[in-house]
Structure 1
Amino acid sequence: MGIKKIFPEDIKLQFTVDTPTYRVKPQPVFFGQERVENAFNIALKTEKEGYNLYVAGPEGIGKITYTKLKLHEAARKKKTPEDIFYHANFEEPQKPKFVSVPAGVGRKLAKDISRVIENLKETVVRQFESKEFEDERVRLIKKIEEEKSHILNQLKRDAESYGLATVVTPAGIQFIPIVQGKASPEFLRVPEIKAEFEKKVEMFDERFRDYMRQIRELDYQLFESLRELKEKVSRYVIDNAFYKIEEKYRYLKQVIQFLEYLKQHMSERIDIFIRWKMLEGDFLLQKAVEREIDIFRINVVVDNSRQEGAPVIYEQVPTFKTLFGYISYRAEMGILYADHMSIVAGSLFKARGGYIIFKIRDILKNPILWENLKRVIIHKKIYLSHYPVEEIFPFHVGIYPEPVPFNITVVLVGDSLMYQLLSMFDPDFNRLFKVKAEFDPVVELNETVIKKFPVLVKHIITQEKLKDVETDGLSELLRYAVELSGSRKKINTVFSHITDLLREADAICEEKFITGKTVKKVIKDRRFRLNLIEEKLRRMFAEGKLIVNIEGKKVAQVNGLSVIELGDFSFGKPSRITASSYIGEKGIINIEREVELSGPIHSKGVMILSGYVGHKYGKDTPLALSCSIAFEQSYGEVEGDSASAAELIAVLSSISEIPVRQEIAITGSIDQLGNIQPVGGIKEKVEGFYSVCKILGLNGKQRVIIPLRNFDNLVLDDEVIEAVEKGNFHIYTIDHIDDAIKLMTETDPLDFHRQVKEKLVEYYRQAIKGKK
C-alpha cells in the first residue's frame, strides 16, 4: 500500500538565512529566469525586421525593472544616435524637411544660426545704406538714364522727319503736328491738318514701337542690374555672416549642404531683415516680422547632446502626443497655422537608435494608437501625427513634416493572456513581435536563491528607503515567499508581495532592524484584515449551522475539502459529501449537475467515477445501479475534480453500507483505474479542516488524507505543524483509492471490494426479479 504518515520533520521548512541585509550591497536579483534572459539576448542581438520583444508575466514580478536593466546594458554598448532638426522647405512650405546630424551638433547649430540671424538684423540695413551700395546704384541708374535719353533724342529727330513733335506726358510719349516749323496741338482743330497728322502717325507707328521696345529693354536692364546688385550685396553679407559657421562644420557634408540651401533662400528674402529694422520701435509690427524671420531658424526636435549610448525610454502614459509628437498650432483670424518651428517630437523620435518600452494595456486602451504604432513598425517611418486637430478642427493650415526613418526596438510589457489574445486575433502581432520573454512566477528553491535572497531584500529596502532586516526576519520573508509558491521546494518570484510586507513591517517596527517577530505580526495582521468571510463561516460551524461531523462513523458520508477564492484571499472549507444508492439503471447521478450547479471539470470527475465502478465491478456482472451524490449545504457552483476521491468513497460506502470514519477528511482526484492524482490548494484545505476541528474540538484522531504527489505542497502554518508534532492532528498521503478505503473504513480493501461486489450482484438480481 502507498499509505504514508507525515511527521513534523517531513514538513518543516529546513532553511535559514544567515546574513542580515545591512551586511550586503543592494542589487536587483531575478531567480530562475533563464528563458527570459535567452529571449532578451536574441532580441537585442538580432537587429532584423520583427525582432521586437513582448515581456510577459504577472504584475509585481519585476518585468519593467528587468527590462530597463537589460536594455540599459545593451544601450551603453551602442553608438549615440544623431540629433534631428526640421527646417523650412522653401519650395513646398507645407512639407518641412529634416536633417540628422551627430549627437550634440543640433543644439550648437541652432544657436549658431540664431546668432547669424541676430547679426543680419543689424548688418543688412547698414550694408544697403552704405555709400558704396548707393554709389553703385546711382551709377547703374545714371547709365540707363543716359542711354534712354539718347534713344529719346533719336526718337525726337526721327519723328520730326515725319512732321511730328514728341511730348513726354504722365501718360507716356505723345505726338503733335508740326506746321511751318511750329508744333502745337491747336493745329489738330483744322480737319485737313488733323487728317494729314493721323496718316503720319500711322506711318511712324512701327518705328515708334521699335523705340519703345528699346526703352522698355533699358528699364528691364535697370531692374535686373539693381536686382543683381541687391543679390550680390545680399550674398556678400550672408556669406560673411556664415563664414565662421561653415568653417566650423566643414567636416559635416549634410550641414554644409543645408547651410548652402539656407543661404540661397535667405538672400532671396533679404527684405525681411530690412523691414524688421525699419519697424524698430513698433513692437507689434516688428513682432509680426519676427515670425517671418523664424523661417530661417531650425527646430531641433531630438537633442542627444547629453545622451551616452542609445536611448532607453519607458513611456508610462502613451498618447498620440507623447508617442508621435504633435504640431503646436497658433490661431490667427480664426484659422490654425503652423510651420516647421511648430513641430514637437514624441518619444518615438527621441528613441531612435535605441529602445522604447510600453505596457500593452496602456497602448490597447486606444485602438487607433495601437494601429498607428504597428504602421510605424511595418513601414519603418515615423510620421508626425495630426490627431486630433484634423478630426475636430477642420479650419487649419496644416503641415506634413517629412517622415523620419524608424530604427527602434519596441518592448511591450504585459501578461501571458494578452499575448495569447493578440497572437490569435491580431494578424500583425506575431510578425512584429517575434520574441516572447515570459517570467516564471514560481522557480526552484536552491542554495543560490537562499544565498542571494538578502541581496534582493536589500535592493527593495534601498529603493523604498526602509529599515534593514535581521536574519530571522529574512527567514520569515523567505518562508512567506515559499508559502506563496505552494510548494516546499519552490519560491514565488512575484516580489511585490515581499515589498508590501516590508513596507508594513517598517511602519510598525519600533526597533532598529526588522525582525522575524515583526514579519510574523504583519502576516498575521494581513490575514486578519482579509479573513472576515472565513471567520463568519467558522462561526457557523461552531454554531452548528454548517454541519460537519468529525467523530464517529457514518455510512455514505465523507468529509471532502474545497477552496473558496475571494480574489485577494483564499481559504479551505470542509464539506459533507453524501451518496444514496439504489436499484436502477441511471448510474451515478450528479445532483449538482442536475440543478446546473456543477462546472464542467466537476462533471467530468463524476463521470470518471462511473468509469471506475464499471471497470472495477462490471466486467462479469451487469450493473443495475442508481446512485446520487451531492455536496450538502452547497448553494453555489461546484467546480474542479479534487473531491472525486471523496465522492467515490461515499458512493462505495453507500453501496456496501460500510461506515466511514468522520474524523478524516480527504482530497484528491482519481482516474478510472483508481489512482489518486494531485490537486490544488493543499495548504488551504489542510489548514481549513484543522481550523474546523479546532473549533469543534481536537481529539487527536482527526486527520487529512492528501495525494502522495502533493507532498511538496505541504507548506503549513506553524500552528498546524505544532499540532502534528503534539499528535493532535495527523496528515497522510496515499496514491490509490484502496489506501483511502483502508484508512477511512478500517476495512481491508479486498474485503471492502468483495462486499461492494456482492451488493451490486444483489442489486442486479433484484432488478431482474422485479422485471419478471
Structure 2
Amino acid sequence: MQPPRPLPTDKLYHRCDPDSLGFQDSSELEEYFGLLGQERAMGAIELGTGLDREGYNMFVLGPTGTGRHSFVRQYLEKRAAGAPRPSDWCYVNNFSDPRRPAAIELPAGLGSQFRDNVTQLIAEAHTAIPNALESEEYRAQRQAIEEQAQQEQMAAFEEVRENARKRGLGVIQTATGFAFVPLKDGESVISPKEYQRLSDEDKKRLQQDTKELSHELRQMLEQIPGRVRTVMAGVRELDEGVALFAVGSLVTEMLKRYEAFPRVLEYLRAMKSDIANHVELFKRGDAPQMAPNDQMIGEGLILNSGEGSPALRRYGVNLIVDHSDAQGAPVVFETHPTYPYLIGQIEHVSRMGTLVTDFHLIRAGALHRANNGYLIMDALQVLLKPFAWDALKRSLKAGEINIQSLDQAYGFVSTVSLEPEPIPLSTKVIMIGEPHIYYLLQAYDPEFATLFKVKVDFDTQADRADEEVQALARLVGSIARRENLLPIDASGMARLVEESSRLAGDSEMLTTRIADLMDVTREAHYWAEQRESERVTADDVQHAIDAREHRAARIRDRLIREVRRGTIMIDTEGSTTGQVNGLAVFQAGGLGFGHPTRITARVTLGPGKVIDIEREVELGGPIHSKGVLILSNFLGAHYVRDKPLSLSASLVFEQSYSGVEGDSASAAELCALLSAIADLPLKQSMAVTGSVNQLGQVQAIGAVNEKIEGFFNVCRDRGLNGEQAVIIPAANVKHLMLNKEVREAVAAGQFHIYAVRHVDECLSLLTGIDAGERDESGRYPEGTVNHRIVARLEAMADRRIALARSMGGKDKDAD
C-alpha cells in the first residue's frame, strides 16, 4: 500500500478571482433586496402571508446573523403597504353595565373623528344645558312646581290649624316642633292659672282633642317627604325634558353623520338618554355626586381628580387603536412581549388609598395594534415572559382579544376591575427563534403545531455558484451604501467571498450569516479610513480579519505559550510508541481555535476490553464513548477473526481536565492503540483528526481548518522542520479554507497536509512502514504494520489460552 502524498496548495484554499466579479468597486452594483440562499424560507413566507386561514401563523427558525429579523420585517412591510388599512377600535361606557365597556369598530380614520365629535358634543352640551336651565321659561316652570307644592303644604297645615281652633286649641312652634295650647275665646292662649280653674271635664276634653289633633298633625307632617319627592321628581322630569331638548339637535346631527354604523347609533341613543338622567354633570357650580349605583367603578373619585370634566369622563371615547395615519396594514415588532404589552391592560389610579378605574384606562396591546396585519416577536422573549405564551395561544384559538388584568385572570388580588367587550382578532403572528426552540415547542406543546403551521427554515449556507457570489457582492454592497461605508473594490469583495466560505466551513459554500460578514466589512472600512483610502481593499479586509482574531486569541496564545514552556506536554518531533497527537477545538470569546492534545494507549494481557478512562471518570460524552467502543469491534473483526481478543487496553487524553465529547479523535485513538499493540513508535511531528467506523474507514469531522491551524501554530512557535504534518479525512478536503501562513508553509515544503480514507493509511504515515494488505491466503506480508499487530494479538490470545489451561480451568472467553 502506497502512503498518500501531501495535498497540493490548490486543494487548501478556494480562491476568488477579483476579475471574475465584473466590477471595479461596490458602488457600481445594483441594490439587492433579496436574501442569500434562502429560497426555501422565502417560499414559506409567501405561503404564510398569502394563505388567510386559521392556524397559518409562521415560526421563523435559524441561527442569529442570517438576516431573519431584517428580511422578515422588510418583506412584511412591503406586502403590508398594498393592503387596506384596518379598522379603528374604541371603548365607550356601557351605561347599563359600567363594568363591561362596549367596543366599537370604525373604518380607519373615523375613530379619531368620532372621538373628537363626541368631545365637541359634550363641550357644546356644557353650554346648552346650563343655558337652558337658567332660562326664564325654565325658572318659571320650576317655580310653579315648587310653589304648587308649597301651597299644598300650607293648605294642609291651615286645615289642621282650623280644626284646632274649632276645638279651642291653638298651634305654636317650639324648639322641638309643634305643640297645641288651649285658647280663651278662640284668640289668646290661657294662662296656667286659668287652665287650673277649668273643670275636670273641660280638661279631659282638651286632652282628648290635643291627642286627636296631634295624630292629625303627625299624618300631615309624614306627607311632607312624599311632597318633596314629588317636587324633586317634577324638577327632574323638567330637567330631563330641558336637557333632551338642549342636546337633541346635537345628537340628531351625529346620528345622521354615523347612520351607517349601528354600534355608534346604539351608543349615541344610550348617551342621549343617560345625559337626561345625569343633568347634574352639566350644571354650573354643581359637584358630581359620588359614585351612584349606575356609574363606573370608582368614577366619583376619578371625576373629582381634575382629569377632564365629569361629563367627558362618562361620555367620552377611549380610542385604543388609531390607524388614521397608517399606510396599509400594520407591521408591529414587539420587543418586550409581556402579558400586558401583548394583550392590553386595564390601568388603575390611586385615589384616597383606593385603586379605581374606568374605561378610559383601558390600554391596547400589541395584538390590538397588529390586528388585521402582522405581529413579529422573538420566540425566546415570549416564552420568558410569565403568562405571555399562554395568553397568545388563548387569543389565537379564540379569535378574539380579551383584556384581563393578571390579578383578575389569576386571582392574585381582589381589586374590582373591568371586563371590556372582547375585540375580534385576525392577525398573522410571526415568531422568530433558534431551531432548538421550534423543535422543543413542536415536541412538548400539543397546541403549537395547530397554531403555527408554517415553518420558515433559514439555511446557514448557500452554494458558492457564480450567481450566488454575485448576489453576495450586491448584498454586501447594498448594506455598505445604506450604512455610508466606503466602496469595496473587487479585491476586497473577493476576499470577503473567501472569508464567507471560511465562515461556512466549506470551500464550496458561502455563509448566509451576513451579520458576521458585515462586521468584518465595517472593521475593514475603519482600517481603510485610517490610511485615508477611498476604497476598501483586500488588505483592509485581511487587516480586519487578523485584528478580530488577535483580539479574541488570548486563551489560544496562552496555550501555545504553555506548550513552548513545557507545561502542556506536546511533542512535535521524534517518535514514541502508543502516543499520538490528537486535535481538539475550543470555543472562547467568539473564536473557535484548534489545539493539539496528547493521546496515549497502553496494552496488557486481558479479557479483550478497551477501557476509555475519560468515560470511567465521567468526563467522556456518549458520542466519544461510542467511538471508543467501535475500536474494540474493529480490532477483533479486522485482525483476529478466529481467536478471542485477549488484551486489556486503556486510552486517555493526557492533561485533560474537562469533558471530552465527539468522535473526531477516534482515528488518533486507534492509531495509538495499534502502535501499542505492534510496539511500533509513531511520529510525533504529525497530528491526526478523523472519526473511524467499524470497517476502519476514516470519516469526516468538523472544524478541520481550525484543527490544522491549531497544530500549525504550535509547530511554528517551536520552529518548522519540514516533517510536521496533519492527517485529515479525505472527505474533509472540500472544507479546506486555510489561512495564508499555512498555505505558504505548505508551498515552501515546511508543513504538510495528508488526506486519508482508511486507518491503514494513517499507520503508514505515522510509522513510516507500509501498513500492508491481506494476500489471497488472508495474511499480511511480513514486516508490515498489520502483520506485527496480528502476530501480537495472536500471541496474546495463545498466551491467555495457555494460562487458562495451566490453571486447570477454562476461560469462558478464551476459545
Task: Determine whether 1:496 maps to 2:519.
Answer: no
1:465 is matched with which residue? Answer: 484
Q: CA deviation at 1:409?
A: 2.5
Name whichever of 139-148 and 35-44 sits farther off.
Answer: 139-148
For 2:464, give the aligned amino acid. Answer: L
Deviation by residue 1:162-209 (Cα, 9 ceiling, x = unmatched): 9789999999999999999x7999899777678789999999999999
Q: Is the 8 A contact 1:575 1:631 kept in 2?
A: yes
**Which residue in the other structure is 2:456 paired with?**
437
Separation in 2, partners of 1:65, 1:397? 43
Which residue of 707, 715, 718 corresponds with 1:685? 707
Structure 1 segment 552-567 matched on structure 2, within 5 A = 552-567=574-589
Change (3 A) 1:208 1:687: closer
1:255 to 248, 264, 268: 264
Other-structure match for 2:9: 8
Range that drifts further, 342-351 or 487-496: 342-351
Quick check: 1:69 aligned with 2:74?
Answer: yes
Whether the 8 Å CA contact 1:275–1:289 is kept in 2: the answer is: no
CA distance in 1: counterparts of 2:408 and 2:518, whole angstroms: 44
**In 2, are the aligned partners of 1:3 and 1:735 still within 8 Å (CA)?**
no
Q: Is the 8 A contact 1:444 1:491 kept in 2?
A: yes
| 1:656-699 residue CA offsets vs partner (Å, 9 max, x unmatched) | 33443443332211111111111112101122222233233333
Give, in whole Å, the separation in 2 of the partners of 1:335 and 1:677: 72
In 2, are the aligned partners of 1:122 and 1:277 still within 8 Å (CA)? no
2:397 is equivalent to residue 378 of structure 1: yes
2:323 aligns with 304
Residue 26 of structure 1 deviates from its aligned partner by: 3.8
> What's the CA shift for 1:522?
0.9
User: C-alpha distance in 2, partners of 1:113/1:276?
Assistant: 23
Q: Residues 607 and 192 of structure 1: is their aligned pair in 2 closer, same or farther, counting only changes over 3 Å?
A: same
Q: Is the 8 A contact 2:130 2:284 kept in 1?
A: no
Q: CA deviation at 1:431?
A: 3.8
Counterpart contact for 1:353–1:407, Cα < 8 Å: yes
1:219 shift after superposition: 8.2
1:271 correspondence with 2:271: no
Q: Matches of 1:215 and 1:770 in 2, distance apart? A: 127
Quick one: distance in 1 between partners of 2:8 and 2:123?
89
Q: Helix, strand or coil for the counterpart of 2:377?
A: strand
Alignment of 1:311-710 (within 5 A): 311-387=330-406, 398-510=417-529, 511-710=533-732
In 2, Cα distance between the equivalents of 1:192 and 1:3? 152
165-174 or 72-81: which moved more?
Answer: 165-174
Aligned residue type for 1:347: A
Separation in 1 of the partners of 2:611 and 2:789? 18
1:708 deviates by: 1.6
Distance 1:368 1:190, change over 3 A: farther
Question: Aligned in 2, Cα 1:388/1:625: closer, same or farther, shift over 3 Å?
Answer: same
Work out the CA distance in 2 between the residues paired with 1:367 and 1:626: 55
| C-alpha displacement of 1:235 | 0.8
After superposition, residues 30-109 of structure 1 pair within 5 angstroms as 30-109=35-114
**CA-to-partner distance for each residue in 1:484-535, whole Å, 9 max, x for gaps?**
1111111221222122222322333221222111110011111111112222
Question: Does the Cα contact within 8 Å between 1:4 and 1:734 map onto a contact in 2?
Answer: no
Q: 1:94 to 1:590 in 2, by over 3 A?
A: closer
Q: How far off is 1:147 after superposition?
A: 9.3
CA offsets 1:354-378 (integer angstroms, 9 cap, x no match): 2222222323333233333333333
Q: Distance in 1 between matches of 2:568 and 2:154?
A: 125
Q: Deviations over 1:548-595 (max 9, x none)?
A: 444454443333222233251222223333333333324333343344
One-letter amino acid matched to 1:91: S
Q: For the aligned residues, what is the CA RMSD?
A: 4.0
In structure 2, the residue matched to 1:765 is 798
1:544 is displaced (CA, Å) by: 4.3
Supply the distance in 1 between the matched residues of 2:793 and 2:656 (Cα, whole angstroms): 29
Please state how far the C-alpha of 1:596 moved relative to its aligned partner: 4.0
Q: Which residue of 2 aligns with 1:237?
A: 246
- Counterpart residue type for residue 746 of structure 1: I
Q: Residues 399, 170 of structure 1: CA spacing in aligned structure 2 closer, same or farther, 3 A cutoff?
A: farther
Contact preservation (8 Å) 1:320, 1:385:
no
Note the residue ranges of structure 1 that are not aligned, 5 or more in a row: none
Write the distance in 2 (CA, Å) between the matches of 1:39 and 1:598. Answer: 41
Determine if the alignment matches structure 1 residue 123 to structure 2 residue 132.
no
SS in 1 for 2:309: helix
Distance 1:190 1:220, change over 3 A: farther
Structure 2 distance, partners of 1:644, 1:323, is: 51
Q: What is the CA-CA distance between 1:320 and the residue it aligns to? A: 4.1
Is the Cα contact below 8 Å between 1:559 and 1:646 reproduced in 2? yes
TM-score by length of 2: 0.83
Q: Tell me the secondary structure at the aligned position of residue 749 of structure 1.
A: coil
Q: Please list, as runs of the form range in 1=range in 2, the aligned pairs for 1:160-239 lying within 5 A after superposition.
A: 226-239=235-248
Deviation at 1:259, TM superposition (A): 1.2
TM-score (norm 1): 0.87
CA distance in 2, matches of 1:224, 1:639: 89
Tell me the SS of whatever aligns to 2:755. Answer: strand
What secondary structure sits across from 1:367 in the alignment?
Answer: coil
Letter in 2 for 1:534: R
Q: Bigger CA drift: 209-218 or 681-690? A: 209-218
Question: What's 1:741 paired with?
Answer: 763
Distance 1:169 1:475, change over 3 A: farther
- Decide whether aligned partners of structure 1 residues 316 and 167 sit closer, same or farther in structure 2, where only a CA change above 3 A counts: farther
8 Å CA contact 1:276–1:290 kept in 2: the answer is no
Q: Distance in 2 between matches of 1:40 and 1:748?
A: 55
Work out the percentage of aligned pairs sharing the same amino acid: 32
